[in-house]
Amino acid sequence: MLSLPPPYALRPMTVADIPAVLTIDRASFPTPAHEQLYYNELVDNQLSHYQVLTRAAENGETILGYAGFWLIAGEVHISTIAVAPAERGRGLGEWLLLNLLRLACELDPLLITLEVRRGNTVAQALYAKYRFEEVGVRRRYYRDTGEDALLMTVDLSAQPDYCAWLAGRPLRIERRDAV
């Protein structure tokens, strides 16, 4: 896990985190996930890896965002990244992505993939910053809106320096902070 500047931290997601994750999920996606999905991912799915981004406070911690991926047949598929709406625009999603990518590199994958809504240009720019390339379109992928998904990948056979390059990325990301 990345070591973040206090009061922020990253840690593996637990079942106890599901209510807070669902709150962020509902605010982030037109068709939110069900509690059972996250429960199954954490308890039953040996291929899944989920994390939460927290901010410490006097009365405990607040979950600000979460992310996850699956490792399937040498491919890391990033399944979700979300940050609470009030916390967006501060680089927290980038911390989640960078940590996912570093964790993925420890698993020695051949390929890292994700889908992103065609209209989500902010996320597309972030993924491009981390060397993802658009390799296809999944027509009408999102059932809720009928929007297309762009398929983006990092092909590690074509970028053998990728994990070393990632390891050299700064831990501190320039961001405006309004805690």
Q: Does domain 8-167 have CATH number 3.40.630.30?
A: yes
144-158 pLDDT, tens digit per residue, is 889 999 999 999 999
| pLDDT(25) > 70 | yes
pTM of the model: 0.92
Query: Which of the following is catalytic: 127, 141, 142, 174?
Result: 127
162 assigned to active site: no
61-93 pLDDT, tens digit per residue, is 999 999 999 999 999 999 999 999 999 999 999
Query: Which of the following is catalytic: 41, 87, 94, 115?
Result: 115
Q: Mark residue 169 as left, alpha or beta (left: phi above 0; alpha: psi -120 to 50; beta: remaining).
A: beta
Long-range pairs, 166-171, Cβ under 8 A, ≥24: 166/98, 166/101, 166/102, 166/105, 166/130, 167/102, 167/105, 169/98, 171/2, 171/3, 171/4
CA distance 95 to 101: 10
127 assigned to active site: yes
Residue with tokens 């209209």: 119
Q: Which are the contacts of 176, defined by CB distance < 8 A and separation ≥ 6?
A: 89, 90
Quick one: pLDDT at residue 46? 94
153-179 pLDDT, tens digit per residue, is 999 999 999 999 999 887 655 545 544
Domain ranges of the chain: 8-167
